[in-house]
Copies of this chain bind each other. A is one copy, B any other.
C-alpha cells in the first residue's frame, strides 16, 4: 500500500495511491482509518511531506564505495564501521517531493546529494531481536541527505552542512509493501543517471540497526531512520533537478536553486 499525504482544494489529507488516483482516507495511516468517497488524479494534488518525525535518525557511513570515496578525499585509509552507529538530522530541514532545495547565497559550489532509503517506524518498540525487528517497520520512503561539503569539512559537527533549511527532501510517499532484497537506488541529475547501487548492499542492514538502536532507545511511531548512501555526487548547480528512484517505492524529485539567483 502506498500512503500519500497531499493537499487538494485547500485541504491536507492522507490518501492511498492506486494507479494514477489518490483515494482520500479520513485519518492517518497509523489510526483506525477508513477510505472516503473522495478521489483525485495523482497529477492534480500537491504532494506534502509524509511526516515530521519525533526523532530523526540517520546513518552516516553504511556503504563501502561511499566510505572509500570519502576517505580518499581526506587522504585517509577507509575505516569500515565494526558495528551500527547512528546520527541525527534536524526536522527544520525537511521538505516534500517537488519542493525546491534552496542553497544559501553564501554556500560554496560543493553541494552534493545523497540518495537514501528511509525506514518509517510504525510502533513504539524497545529491545527488538533479529526475529522481531521488522515488525515495527511501517514502510519505506526516500530521502536526499543534501550536504554542503566545505561546511562539513570546516565544522565540528554536521549542523549546517546537512541541516540547513530545505536540505532534507523526503518522500514522495510511504510504501508498505516494498521488498528490500529487490531494491535498486538510481540517481539522476537533469535526467542523466549519475549513481546506481543495490539499496540493501549496506554494511549494516535494517535489522542490525533496529536491534542495536533499541538496546538504548525506544523507537516511536513516526520516527524515521535514513539508511545512508553509496557512491559520490557531482557538484549540484542552480537549476539542477535531482531524482532518486528506489525500486518498489517510487521517485523523489527536487530542483536545486541558489538563493538570490
User: Which residues of A are interface residues toward B (Cβ below 8 A)?
Assistant: 52, 54-55, 57, 60, 81, 85-93, 104, 106, 126, 155-157, 159-160, 163-165, 215-220, 223
Contacts and interface: CB of A to CB of B under 8 A. Distances in A.
A164 B218 CA distance: 9
Given A86-B157, A88-B88, A157-B86, A104 B165 contact: no
Contact of A81 (B91, B126, B156, B223): B156
Contact of A126 (B156, B165, B223): B165
A219 B92 contact: yes
Contacts of A157: 60, 85-87
Give 6 closest A-B pairs by Cβ, nearest first: A88-B88, A164-B216, A160-B216, A86-B159, A55-B91, A55-B90
21 contacts: A57-B90, A81-B156, A85-B155, A85-B157, A85-B159, A86-B159, A87-B157, A88-B89, A88-B90, A88-B159, A88-B163, A91-B220, A92-B219, A92-B220, A93-B217, A104-B215, A104-B216, A159-B216, A160-B216, A165-B216, A165-B217
A217 B85 contact: no
Contact of A156 (B85, B88, B160): B85
A22 to B, nearest CB: 27
Contacts of A156: 60, 81, 85
Interface of A, secondary structure class, is loop
A60 B106 CA distance: 25
B92 A55 contact: yes
Given A85-B155, A86-B157, A155-B85, A54 B92 contact: yes
A129 B163 CA distance: 20
A155 B217 CA distance: 16
B216 A163 contact: yes
A8 B155 CA distance: 46
Contacts of A106: 215
Contact of A159 (B87, B90, B91): B87
A159 B59 CA distance: 11
Contacts of A164: 216-217
* Most chain B CB neighbours (cut-off 10 Å) among A91, A104, A215: A91
A214 to B, nearest CB: 10
Contacts of A215: 104, 106
Contacts of A159: 85-88, 216
